[in-house]
A = this chain, B = another copy of it.
Amino acid sequence: MANIKVTIAYDGTNYHGFQEQRGTAFQTVQGVLEERLSRLAQREIRIIGAGRTDAGVHARGQVINFDTGGWPIPTPKIVYALNSLLPRDIAALEAEEVPDSFHSRFSAVAKTYRYVINNGKRHSPFLRLYSYHIPCLLDVEAMRAGARRLLGTNDFSAFRALGTPVKTTVRTVREIQVSREDELIYIDIQADGFLYHMARMISGTLIRVGQGKLSPEEVAGILASRNSLKGGPTAPARGLYLERIEYPG
């Protein structure tokens, strides 16, 4: 018996999201991981994922954990063994043994999502599945000013699509950085947790600010409204990446 934590990257294009939907034919990242890990273990393995990414959303630092049930694979060999079985659009990056109390979702203290915008004049064949193309030049300074209105502990109901019920819609956004690298714009959002579609609705709102359709001040008003009809629109899944999960210690 050992509790193993594995960091995972995946191209979400061909998956119906991370979370397995038992009894459906949709291919999910969790479903593929469980199938391959079960093959390695020669018994059924169920995993817990830190973030439930949507269909088409990518990950560069998703974290999962699972109970090996006492398999004979030495921990340093797990990444290699798993990658030899995984399809090429999912990669195991690192694996380590963690205390039994570690739970990839409940132990997480912060998550970072990155939203990628291709702000070049022409669409790019190579970025079409990995970014949101907006040909008109965005005002990155205004986006930064808008982003600052979202920092801190707030009720983020305005940036939440209806989905699974949650105990509270209050979240703490620790940092939002908007940066430009040549034709790409990155929106990096770190928070203690994210509501359903929150990262994509914040991104959609900041894009409107960058387009001059919304002033940075109005972002504060949208947040205060707690009205999900005012936040957004929801930026497309293909631009979003689950970048990193933080744990204590």
The chain A residues found within 8 Å of chain B, CB to CB, are 9-11, 58, 79, 83, 88-93, 122-126, 128, 130
Residues in chain B near residue A79, CB distance under 8 A:
122
Interface pair A128/B93, CB less than 8 Å apart: no
- Copies of this chain, complex-wide, total 2
Interface pair A88/B123, CB less than 8 Å apart: yes
Q: A114 to nearest B CB, angstroms?
A: 12
Interface pair A89/B11, CB less than 8 Å apart: no
Q: A92 to nearest B CB, angstroms?
A: 8
Residues in chain B near residue A130, CB distance under 8 A:
126
> Nearest CB to that of A133 among chain B residues?
B88
Pick from B58, B89, B124: contact of A128, CB under 8 Å: B89
CA gap between A123 and B124 in the complex, in Å: 23
> Nearest CB to that of A60 among chain B residues?
B126
CA gap between A93 and B122 in the complex, in Å: 7
